[in-house]
Amino acid sequence: MLWFLPTSMLPIAAVVLAGAVMLRVMSFGSALLLFTALALAPFVIDPLVDLAFDSLPWWILLPGTTLLLLALLRMVLSSLIGAGAADHAVGHLTAVGILGLLRLVFLPVRVLGWVAARLLVGKF
């Protein structure tokens, strides 16, 4: 998740890494390597993400984005209310989404049934 750190936050990352080196939490070499990776990651990752989003069709991007949002929701919920409750919440949300998709798929059948019922009763 550190790879999506904005470049304006790099000075704060440098201060935190310097503090970690001073407190001997990490060595200078590993701090320098991590800072270099944080500084160069946007230049490497941004074109790859743009390429993926530009080349994939919308019918693949939609479920992929949905899965990424569910993973992000699970991560946020697990930090707020715990892992078990987050799993239940995301599972419930997924079940409601699948039920909605099934209702959408069978909407033409339901409309035909409604029209047939109205024709048989004579209120059409």
Phi/psi of residue 96, nearest 5 degrees: -65, -40
Per-residue pLDDT of 21-54, as tens digits, reads 999 999 999 999 988 888 888 788 778 878 877 8
Q: Return the closest-CA partner of residue 17 out of 37, 41, 35, 1.
A: 35
**Contact between 70 and 93 (Cβ < 8 Å):** yes
> Using an 8 Å Cβ cutoff, are 37 and 45 in contact?
no
Residue 89 φ then ψ, to 5°: -65, -45
pLDDT of residue 4: 64
Who's near 67: CB < 8 A, 6+ residues apart? Answer: none
pTM here? 0.51
- How many C-beta atoms surround the C-beta of residue 86 within 10 A? 18
The confidence band for 5, taking pLDDT boundaries of 50, 70 and 90, is low
DSSP symbol at 9? G
Q: How confident is the model at residue 107 (pLDDT cuts 50, 70, 90)?
A: very high
Q: At what angle do helices 83-105 and 58-81 cross, to 10 degrees?
A: 150
For residue 117, is pLDDT > 80?
yes
